[in-house]
Structure 1
Amino acid sequence: MTTNTYSPGLHKLVTLEVQKTEKLFYSEGFISFSEDLISKYNLEKVGISQHDFDNNSFTIAICLKESHICIHTWPEFKQLTLDVYLCNYLQDNTEKVKAITNAYINYFEAIILKDFEINR
């Protein structure tokens, strides 16, 4: 009996605390930064779904050919949740997922409150 050792990808889920909350209100800045990351890491965007709430917080799902990047902001709590998942049957994107997540942590100048890694 053989077992399949293939893992489709790494799924990172983080909750971050942000002291400078301006970026938690600025969905267009997040999208612009994400577009740069998508280009830098040679990912393929399928589409973006975005909603800005009355308090200017936002939720965004970026659908990628390789899977997705999602964010939800809570400026009133100085927090956000971020979900980065890249899967690919031809290559291991583990390091890309970690690098992209770290780029967002740096973008928000955030402190990590929760950090989960799921090997799918």
Structure 2
Amino acid sequence: MNQSEKSLYNPGLHKLLTLQVKDEMLLTSLENFQEFSKNLINDFNLEIVGISHHSFDSSGYTMAFCLKESHICIHTWPEFEQLTLDIYLCNYLKDNTQKVEALSTAYKQFFNAEVLNETNVYR
């Protein structure tokens, strides 16, 4: 790869979301989120290389899917009816921008969420 090609490389879209979610069960059921996410990850032909999670006393949870392509992370606050979601897929071998957008849409639908904040960071 020459210098010109290197300077044109776009590492990928990193989407950061803060969502309002009225259904407390969705903010407390780590298992439902994990199952939904694994199905999405499979549907989008992404590869899981690790999963880490923790359930809090407040019934919220945090979970990180480490992907060969990068990551999907969530942190929920049922007491505030909110969650933050972080989706990043790198573009090393192909442009994954549309996958990030589609994943974001799928999660918004899963949570039946109102978007409080959505930030796109083009790496």
Compute the TM-score of the two structures, normalised by the length of structure 1. Answer: 0.97
Query: For residues 13-58 of structure 1, what are the alpha-carbon distances to aligned partners after superposition, in whole Å with 9 as ceiling and x for unaligned?
Result: 0000011121100001000000000110000000100000012100
In 2, Cα distance between the equivalents of 1:79 and 1:89? 32
User: Quick check: 2:15–2:87 contact (8 Å CA) kept in 1?
Assistant: yes
From 17, 22, 42, give the equivalent of 1:39: 42
5+ residue gaps in structure 2? none
From 24, 27, 46, give the equivalent of 1:24: 27
5+ residue gaps in structure 1? none
**1:72 correspondence with 2:75:** yes
Moved runs in structure 1, 4+ residues, more than 6 A? none
From 81, 86, 102, give the equivalent of 1:83: 86
Tell me what 1:62 maps to: 65
**1:117 correspondence with 2:120:** yes
Structure (1 or 2) with the greater helix fraction: 2
Compute the TM-score of the two structures, normalised by the length of structure 2. Answer: 0.94
